[in-house]
Amino acid sequence: MHCLPCNLSFDYIGKYETFKEDTIHLLDVFKLLEKIKFDDFEKDAALDAIKDAASWVFSQKEEIAGCDVPFVCALFRVWNRLQSRGFISFKTVFPYKSDSEVRNITRQQFESALTNAHDESALEHLQNSRQAALVQALRSLPKSSVNLIQRAFKLDFLAFGYSRLPLVSIDPTNLHAFEYFQNCPPSFFLT
């Protein structure tokens, strides 16, 4: 009901989990495979996400300051979000400790730090991060809230083939202990 999917006629529905395959399929359907080439689809997608995240946080710098959020915490939230999305290893430590360290940092420098962190991340550390973050987020909610989410998105789960009970469908042996939803780097509170 929230986006009225039944009022629109869809020819294709893509999913984040199959984004690469969906994109290649659509390029093939529209006879664009010869014109549009990807050297490394996953790498290009990661670099695009990194660039967007860095651009966004720097475009919001004044608004962030107006909310009394230290900029180092805003950068950390971007870093942490990219970890939860599986673009930066959960084992890669945020490189900045204080607001004074990032006072004069540029978007390009931060983007470079994110890109380096991505490049140095071991694939096995990236693969299950999205699921681990989802489990952590859902486990942090009261059962009543999870039930409300399940009811609110029931049609979406059906339409897009998602489990209404994601915690049941995720193998807990593949998860790792990491705090994905921190507001500031732990070292920030030690300075």
> Has residue 17 been placed in a domain?
no
**Residue 88 lies in domain:** 40-190
Confidence (pLDDT) at 3 = 65
> Has residue 87 been placed in a domain?
yes
Number of domains in the chain: 1
> Has residue 90 been placed in a domain?
yes
pLDDT tens digits for range 68-99: 999 999 999 999 999 999 999 998 999 998 88
> Has residue 2 been placed in a domain?
no
pLDDT tens digits for range 2-14: 566 677 777 888 8
Please choose, from the candidates 72, 68, 57, the residue with its C-alpha nearest in 3D space to the C-alpha of residue 104: 72
* Mean pLDDT (the chain, rounded): 86
